Copies of this chain bind each other. A is one copy, B any other.
């Protein structure tokens, strides 16, 4: 599954990025305001009109929780992956109503269930603000000063835009810092669940089949956006093609790829290979075992932990693929050669030759990042994060908007508060386990004698301390959080909540580390901006920036591939799903829901189920609509195959493929398996 992994987002610092080599074949995550029109025309004889692109852009939806989606009806229906909706399915489920596992179907609008904290974004417009942002930084500034100046300029632009248009306004750093674009979004925060299948068919084959192909996953679910308590009326939505895709057909993916790092220098890639990825994988495996153990007894504990577990397993498998790609000496030999050649060109160009220092600067930053690995000012669990946000917010709110940490700027306030005041359930046992493990990890990484460790543990072992904190904190009460948020610094100072006090103890360290990382980010931003400029100068500007969890257009062919000498067909069928189940003796996780067996005879076994195409995707693209030349929805991206896991660092269309749910099986399943004829009819209308 390729949801933008939340853990990964937290774990890996957002490093600005930019592609390093010229694109080829179907490569590219293109900006909607800079589409590869010429290539599409020459290669596919297809010319996207302004109208076509505008319609697709407006019909595309971003799940702020980390995924993509599309409008599929004038009545506000939103189609995404089950695993993108899983976070919400989990939050609205209870031991008695397990919508995640059992699925859900609202027979009428009144039965639709409101998500506790979803925010959906529809991209309205993009504006180039590079000059305004760049002009804020002058040559004499130190990295820290430049960072502050740039942050202030971005906050001003965003605030102005918000005040003027009322739209969510984000300045996005593109090409690693060579370009800045302002993205304006319409926000939807009243989002309700309409339909979801059982997890056993959505995630058929489980962790074993994840990132594998052929696949048979109905990894979709349907929400509806509301405005003023009424289904939103949506102008741009996608029609849904009943037959899915054909072999070799040209298709487009419109979604929000989370992050790629194709611009990375070899020094940066080596840092990933030898330090960052091993470190990340150690952490993911630690958490995977933790949640496995937590849910070992089955039942309710397993239910509580499974969304965390699946996210972690997905990340572990994805990062394992990434490190395998980087551990290939042949890859590095090629890359190093390319870089050396390019550096010769840069050094030979009088206008660019000073830029060679950028590569050295990045190498230095990697060295410093290595020293910081494992240092954190945070701890685990939602309660701690709530406390930390409250403590930071009270202090940040006293500063002018332009000087605040980015998540506390005024233009982002609504989104922040929605998360902070979410009424999503908090489970004591889960919170205790997360906090205890993060405390234990904190002891491991700092050493048991570190003064901050002593301060945090207060003479108790991590488990006892976590139990005490979770038992005594009132932050699970939303009203209490609101009081503290509204009371500002005074309320925080006066609070006796032990979790607030713990956050207070940690916050100075959090700030210290953020300052260092902000400075390193800035040095990298400046270096990558130079590298991007050098690329523009030498190779031209007909290129795309690294992914930034903003809307991009990718394209490719529906196309099978050869694996270990075996031909893998481009698409699978409903009949194949039953065969796949049988081949595994119907054991978990290859056990289809009872409903599928009951209605098997009604289902056309030839119905297209999943398919692969060569479009360039990455985590965050989960739920992206796949459309044909007519902009009709033919599928929903939900995964990449195992060979695509190197896509973070380079694109290949040899065997790497994006995996999608066919629109054909969505319609067929709604009608024949889920008795959801009306919902199927509503799609595309």
Residues of A within 8 A of B (CB): 207-208, 270, 273-274, 278, 281-282, 285-286, 288-289, 296-298, 316, 323-324, 326-330, 332-333, 440, 443-444, 447-449, 454, 457, 459-463, 584-585, 587
Contact = CB atoms under 8 A, between A and B. Distances in A.
6 contacts: A270-B448, A285-B288, A323-B440, A324-B463, A328-B460, A332-B448
A461 B207 contact: no
B327 A270 contact: no
Contact of A208 (B296, B326, B330, B333): B296
Given A207-B296, A297-B208, A454 B274 contact: no
A578 B7 CA distance: 41
Q: Which of A281, A328, A460 has the most CB of B within 10 A?
A: A328
Contacts of A326: 448
Contact of A329 (B323, B460, B584): B460
Contacts of A333: 459
Given A274-B447, A444-B278, A461 B298 contact: no
A282 B286 contact: yes
Given A270-B448, A440-B323, A329 B278 contact: no
A443 B327 contact: yes
A contacts with B: majority SS: helix
A289 B273 contact: no
Given A285-B285, A285-B286, A285-B289, A329 B298 contact: no
Nearest to A269: B448
A445 to B, nearest CB: 8
A463 B207 CA distance: 21
A374 to B, nearest CB: 10
Given A270-B448, A327-B462, 15 more contacts: A207-B296, A208-B296, A273-B448, A274-B447, A278-B444, A281-B286, A285-B288, A285-B289, A288-B289, A289-B289, A289-B316, A297-B584, A298-B584, A298-B587, A323-B444
Contacts of A462: 324, 327
Contact of A270 (B449, B454, B584): B449
Nearest to A443: B327
Nearest to A333: B459
A461 B324 contact: yes
A139 to B, nearest CB: 35
Contacts of A327: 440, 443, 448, 461-462
A112 to B, nearest CB: 34
Number of copies of this kind of chain in the complex: 2
A184 B664 CA distance: 76
Contacts of A454: 329
B208 A459 contact: no
Given A289-B285, A298-B584, A274 B444 contact: yes
B286 A461 contact: no
Contacts of A316: 289
A454 B444 CA distance: 32
Nearest to A274: B447
Contacts of A460: 328-330
Q: Which of A327, A332, A454, A463 has the most CB of B within 10 A?
A: A327
A329 B457 contact: yes
A329 B461 contact: yes
A563 to B, nearest CB: 14
Q: Which of A443, A447, A448 has the most CB of B within 10 A?
A: A448
Contacts of A587: 298
A587 B298 CA distance: 9
Contacts of A461: 324, 327-330
A288 B316 CA distance: 13
A146 to B, nearest CB: 32
Nearest to A206: B296
Contacts of A330: 459-461
A274 B447 CA distance: 5
Q: Which of A273, A278, A285, A587 has the most CB of B within 10 A?
A: A285
Contacts of A447: 270, 274
Closest 7 CB pairs of A and B: A328-B461, A278-B444, A208-B296, A274-B447, A285-B285, A282-B282, A329-B459
A660 to B, nearest CB: 24
A612 to B, nearest CB: 21
A273 B446 CA distance: 11
Contacts of A323: 440, 444
Nearest to A460: B329
A346 to B, nearest CB: 23
Contacts of A329: 448, 454, 457, 459-461
Contacts of A448: 270, 273-274, 326-327, 329, 332
Contacts of A332: 448
A327 B298 CA distance: 29
Contacts of A463: 324
